[in-house]
Amino acid sequence: MSNDNKPSNWQQAIEGEWHGLPSLFEADGTHVGYNKVSRASEFEDGRTTYWMNTRFDATGPLNDRFEIGAPFKFGVIDSDQDRIYTGPDFFGSGRPYGLLVDSNYFSPGWNVNLRTMNHVVPELGMQVYSSQLFEGDTLVGVFNGLYTVTTDHGENPQTQKLVTEFLERERLEGKRPFNLPVKHAGTFSGRFEVYDDQQNFVGYNDVTIHHKPINLLHSEQTIEISGVVNEKWTAMRTRNGNHHQYHGPDMFGNGMSYGRYLYSVRHVYGKAFKLWSRETQVDDNYTFVCAWQFMQSQKEKYTTFGVLRWEEGDLKLGANYVD
């Protein structure tokens, strides 16, 4: 529990019952189904209990692996430094940064180690969730999807209707592939909160990404950051299915997308500095909810997160003609 026997800031930020329909992907990115979830983290009498009801609708062996036939209910030692999961369903911990928590924990029933990232985005009215599922260092699957929150779902028919409509949209959107604007140049821009390696809020980064398509599978992007971090990097990006690469000259790396979510690692040329990112396309207007972690000398330096909004520019790949 928190030191003053009160709920942590993160615990207060996630009050209510959350509803989602995360998609389930195999390790290669194949979409195989959904998991209908309702969940809540409840603080009462100085203790925190997390419960979660799940119902999988998937194909293949992952459905049998994850549908264990019982609801989840486990203890949490709650604090703003660490949230420690004490079983029986999950063992491990989460690390809060304002409205984002980055967790690493083990599920005996699923036999997976999870890296779970939950990001509450009040301006969009959603929580952006993902879990990468590992056996040791080997990825075996991915869950991801958006959640909405309620406080009266059990007794309010209108709330129930809104949740049902939200889940229906998630069923349609969950398997849509991550894409960048293919034919138009333009800019992504937004402001990210920045936390240091001690989880202290230290300010903001203003982020602008200048995007220019080269052809249908290649683009050039320049990332400009000012604020706590002051950097500028240009790289050519390529995409082959759900496989992404960054070809320099300033950043080199790769990533894989699982539906609307792209997970990447980019190394800065000539420096012991890299960027781990989870970027989520949440609508058809190329609005991206991003979590970026900067690593220096293989250690966490900053955790940053925010929303990037797209402003369309010139058409670069119009129709071709032969006269």
Residue 129 and residue 145 in contact, taking contact as beta carbons nearer than 8 Å:
yes
Taking the CA of residue 51 as centre, how many other CA atoms within 13 Å lie in the half-sphere pointing to its CB? Answer: 8
- Helix then strand then coil, in percent of the chain rounded to 5, is 10, 60, 30
pLDDT at 3: 44
pLDDT at residue 278 is higher than 80? yes
Q: Do the domains 184-314 and 9-173 match in fold?
A: yes
Q: Which of 131-135, 148-152, 220-224, 253-257 has the lowest mean pLDDT?
A: 148-152
pLDDT band for 2, please (50, 70, 90 cuts).
very low
Residue 51 and residue 38 in contact, taking contact as beta carbons nearer than 8 Å:
no
Asked: is 184-314 a CATH 3.30.70.270 domain? The reply is no
- Angstrom CA distances, 62 to 34, 130, 136, 141, stand at 11, 17, 17, 8
The token duo for 51 is: 């419960």
Residue 243 and residue 186 in contact, taking contact as beta carbons nearer than 8 Å:
no
- Angstrom CA distances, 23 to 65, 144, 147, stand at 15, 5, 12
pLDDT at residue 30 is higher than 90? yes
- Angstrom CA distances, 96 to 29, 72, 82, 200, 223, stand at 28, 22, 7, 10, 26
CA 277, 53, 146, 31 torsion: positive or negative?
A: positive
pLDDT at residue 1 is higher than 70? no
Across the chain, what does the average pLDDT equal? 96
CA distance 156 to 214: 51
Name the residue ranges covered by the structural domains of the chain: 9-173, 184-314
Residue 171 has φ and ψ, to the nearest 5°, of -65, -35
pTM of the model: 0.95
* Residue type for position 216: L
Cα torsion through 257, 258, 259, 263, rounded to 10: -50
CA distance 53 to 66: 12
pLDDT at 154: 86
pLDDT at 77: 96
CA distance 43 to 206: 35
Give me the DSSP letters along 11-29: HHHT-SEEEE--EEEETTS
Mean pLDDT of 119-143: 97
Closest CA to 274 of 235, 321, 320: 235
pLDDT at 148: 97
Mean pLDDT of 36-41: 96
78-117 pLDDT, tens digit each: 999 999 999 999 999 999 999 999 999 999 999 999 999 9
Q: Which of 3-17, 60-74, 91-105 has the lowest mean pLDDT?
A: 3-17
* Residue type for position 175: K
pLDDT at 4: 54
Q: To the nearest whole percent, how much of the chain has pLDDT over 90? A: 95
Residue 99 has φ and ψ, to the nearest 5°, of -95, 20
CA triple 100-106-109, angle to 5 deg: 125
Residue 145 and residue 20 in contact, taking contact as beta carbons nearer than 8 Å:
yes
pLDDT at residue 258 is higher than 80? yes
Closest CA to 101 of 282, 305, 280, 287: 305
As its CATH architecture, domain 9-173 has: Beta Barrel (2.40)
